[in-house]
Amino acid sequence: MSEEAIDDEFEDDEEQEKEPEEKEEDEEEEKEAVEEEEEQPPPPHPLTEEILKEGLSLLCKTGNGMAHAYVKLEAKEKELTDISILQSYIHLRYVDLSENLLRDLSPLANLTHLLWLKVEGNRLTSAYLEELPYLQIVSFAHNHIRDTEGISHPRLGSLNLRGNEIEVVTGLEAGKLMNLHTLELRGNKLETTTGICLPKLKNLYLVSMGWSASERG
């Protein structure tokens, strides 16, 4: 075999060796690009009266029984960044704001009749909400939540935090979550169940830690 052929073969081997490394570098660069895009604030896109009208349903009597109001709102996949308008929709009981670009849920503090809330697939880094006295079901799945602080709804029965970035459970106080029976934590970064001590908890989902489900009486 000529020296030229040997050199060509050697170069081919070098290229084959580099391919997996280059592929890993490309994947890492793509991942960093996605993370940078998520960190950058998206263009403002507030929830408007027009979007509200499209998503409102379920006409019910209000608390005094003398008037009626829509109590259900669905505004999914609208690229929303601001829900300030909801502060005045105090009669809402069921709200689905999934698959938007929300980072702040503070306007929901006025919705004291809220029973059910879904905010899956947003850009939330915290599950904090002012205490909502009637809230029973909430899903924060697939956000960027890093801790479990600020969850203190006395009638909350089901809490979904699947697919977030939680490493340690803190702040889930038995005295404030007396009715919590289902806790979903699959797809997080947990390595321990320390911090989970709730009297009514029956269903605890922790697949990422090697358990499919754990039941406690």
The pTM of the full predicted model, rounded to 2 decimals, is 0.78
Each of the 217 residues of the chain gets a pLDDT tens digit; together they read 555 554 555 455 544 544 555 555 665 666 555 555 556 778 999 999 999 999 999 999 987 778 899 999 999 999 999 999 999 999 999 999 999 999 999 999 999 999 999 999 999 999 999 999 999 999 999 999 999 999 999 999 999 999 999 999 999 999 999 999 999 999 999 988 888 999 899 999 997 444 444 444 3
H/E/C letters for each residue in the chain? CCHHHHHHHHHHHHHHHHHHHHHHHHHHHHHHHHHHHHHCCCCCCECCHHHHHHHEEEEEECCCCCCEEEEEEECCCCCCCECHHHHHCCCCCEEECCCCCCCCCHHHHHCCCCCEEECCCCCCCCCCCCCCCCCCEEECCCCCCCCCCCCCCCCCCEEECCCCCCCCCCCCCCCCCCCCCEEECCCCCCCCCCCCCCCCCCEEECHHHCCCCECCC
